[in-house]
Amino acid sequence: MLTKLSSLQSGTLGELLAVARLNSLGHAAYISPEGAPGHDVIVVVAGRSLSIEVKTRQFLNRASEITRWPVDMKTKGDADFFLFIELDLRSLAPTFYLLTNAQARETYKNHVGGGSCIPPQVRQRVAPNDFSALNA
């Protein structure tokens, strides 16, 4: 029976998938040192280092099972980009949504004890697997 990964496992896998995808697109991408404030991945685009906060959520049957991407804007809000990943556990196929900081903030809902970026709003802002914002 298929079961979900732990939060740590899915987060680590998401970061590795993000770096792999960015490198496959011709960018130099690296996982940030453990505990680096505000981001998980650094990508070099046109000689500029950009920070990316990666948030991974997993689903067993359909992406609509993902109801939020928890984000702490107080500690992560300075990232240049946010990369939201939907991870299909049946195939381990990721779907990536790359948002600028401003776009991510438009999808953010603050609530007691934290905040979240809302998946339907994320999906409305950008096309899946579109990394063109890095080149803007």
Domain holding 92, by residue range, is 7-135
Number of structural domains, the chain?
1
* pLDDT tens track for 95-133: 999 999 999 999 999 887 778 999 999 999 999 999 999
Residue 1 lies in a domain: no
- pLDDT value for 1: 67
On the question of pLDDT at 21 being above 90, the answer is yes
Measured on CA atoms in the order 92, 70, 55, 105, is the torsion positive or negative? positive
Residue 42 lies in a domain: yes
CATH number for the domain that contains residue 72:
3.40.1350.10
Residue 55 lies in a domain: yes
| Chain mean pLDDT for the chain | 92
In the chain, the percentage of residues whose pLDDT exceeds 70 is 99
If you search the block for the tokens 């993902």, which residue do you land on? 66
Residue 80 lies in a domain: yes
Sequence-distant (≥ 6) Cβ neighbours of residue 74 within 8 angstroms? none
Residue 112 lies in a domain: yes
Residue 13 lies in a domain: yes
Residue 110 lies in a domain: yes
- pLDDT value for 37: 73
Residue 2 lies in a domain: no
* pLDDT tens track for 57-76: 999 999 999 999 999 888 77
